[in-house]
Amino acid sequence: MAYDVLRAVSESDAYANLLLPSAIADAGLTPQDAALATELAYGTLRRRGTYDAIIRAAANRPVDEIDPAVLDALRLATHQLLATRVASHAAVNESVNLIASAQGRGAAGFANAVLRRIARGTPGEWQTRIEDAARSDDERLALRTAHPVWVIRALRRALAAEGRADELDALLDADNASPEVTLVALPGLAEPGEPRRPYAPTAYGSPGGDPHRVLTESRGTVRVQDEGSQLVALALAEAAPIRPEERWLDLCAGPGGKTALLAAVAREHGVTVEANEVVPARAGLVRNALRSVPGDVVVHEEDGRVFAAEHPATFDRILVDAPCTGLGALRRRPEARWRKTPADVADLVPLQVELLTAALDALAPGGIVAYVTCSPHLAETTGVVQEVLRARADIAELDARSVVSRVARSPIDLGSDGSGRVQLWPHRHGTDAMFLALLQRTDSDARGDSAAEGDDTRGTA
């Protein structure tokens, strides 16, 4: 099962965190076997870069010259040999048999030779060998922590913006730790259980780690959701007193977890909520997430920029959970670190700027946008906010740090880059690395000089 997940990730850009749970359920695995399958798949994906360096050394050839199906099996076996208690002979034999059935005896013979070389060394010996071949300190750190060099540098810059660059090692370690399951109890529909999480009043831990029974019994009023995701959604609701008959919008709603939380809060205050999601399959997930919340939340299926342009000065609160690299959720999506490149940042930033700008235009006077990313990359966070604000005189930035502190059940250690923006961290808060900025429209017509002169950085709607 772990091998099938690796192949799907490699061949089809599948997401392991979506594919593996359903595969485990369909197979009816025991809890012990489910745990093993999860460790094999996630552990292999998480440390892929390190394992590729070891395989390259053991095979004496670049990994891109190895058949992809064989390479995935070698990665899986290397994880078993160097990071689990699986007996070496069993790891080698099972993996060779996997390759023989999938690729034939010739490929199996090659794999057998490579894996026996790897099995003869200890984890420490292999780590020393590949680090000794590194060309820089960052490359050495990348091999030790299984993060691409560009990701390490982006994370270091984001921490340095808060004056906390010395926390990099702790962050990289946290990215490689399996996260605990966190649940959200939708306000007014369910009560949080124990153990409570320290910050979001709706968040608590999954009893025993397996949430299936709790989720089934709740009929959707309890669901799996990272505490950081809960905090940023609740911050939008808490940013100003809620007036009856407000209109709220989740502009980039898929898969719908934040939408459901906002809809539950809105239900308690007589507020109307709408959602928009451009991808039809994800729009279906949003509708499914909303089934447990009484009331009618309309889910639109349009480009968020177009939808916002069609509704100028309409909404009182808008959540822009923008498409991003997802570098803040590497604990949960271990393959993302190897799937993304710096080119993805360059492609996403213009879209993020356009979505945020369109959302601000869709605000009624006094309305508030929460700009959110699950990435700490400065280009996707502060860079986007600063670019948008440069073109506008009708927007004031609120102190999101004070809002989140007000939402949190206990004191929360929020770093500061001199702005009021919030950056959460896995190593410091036990959450995904969610970013939040709160922007309020102060006037319906005013614009900055550059916008008035036509030098507008908003992009097209």
Residue burial 275-286, b: 16+ Cβ < 10 Å; e: rest: bbbbeeebbbbb
Alpha-carbon distances, residue 102 vs 49, 67, 69, 89, 106 (angstroms)? 23, 11, 8, 20, 11
The number of residues making up the chain comes to: 461
Strand 247-250 with 222-224, pairing: unpaired
Mark whether 252 is an active-site residue.
no
Tell which residue, 203, 201, 198, has the closest CA to residue 182.
203
Strand 435-441 with 395-397, pairing: antiparallel
Alpha-carbon distances, residue 249 vs 137, 288, 364, 366, 458 (angstroms)? 46, 17, 12, 15, 20
Rounded to whole angstroms, how far apart are CA atoms 357 and 408?
29
CB atoms within 10 A of CB 415: 18
Rounded to whole angstroms, how far apart are CA atoms 62 and 431?
36
**Is the distance from CB of 315 to CB of 362 less than 8 angstroms?**
yes
Phi/psi of residue 260, nearest 5 degrees: -65, -40
Rounded to whole angstroms, how far apart are CA atoms 370 and 205?
26
| Tokens representing residue 377 in the block | 């990359």
Alpha-carbon distances, residue 446 vs 29, 226, 236, 320, 451 (angstroms)? 60, 38, 24, 22, 10
Tell which residue, 328, 325, 380, 326, has the closest CA to residue 356.
380
Taking the CA atoms of 148, 46, 21 and 13 in sequence, report the sign of the dihedral they define: positive
Tell which residue, 193, 226, 221, has the closest CA to residue 208.
193
Look-up: residue for tokens 């394992």?
Answer: 51
Phi/psi of residue 245, nearest 5 degrees: 75, 15
**Stretch (H or E) spanning 186:** none
Rounded to whole angstroms, how far apart are CA atoms 66 and 80?
20
Selecting among 374, 378, 384, 400, the annotated active-site residue is 374
Q: Which are the catalytic amino acids?
A: 374
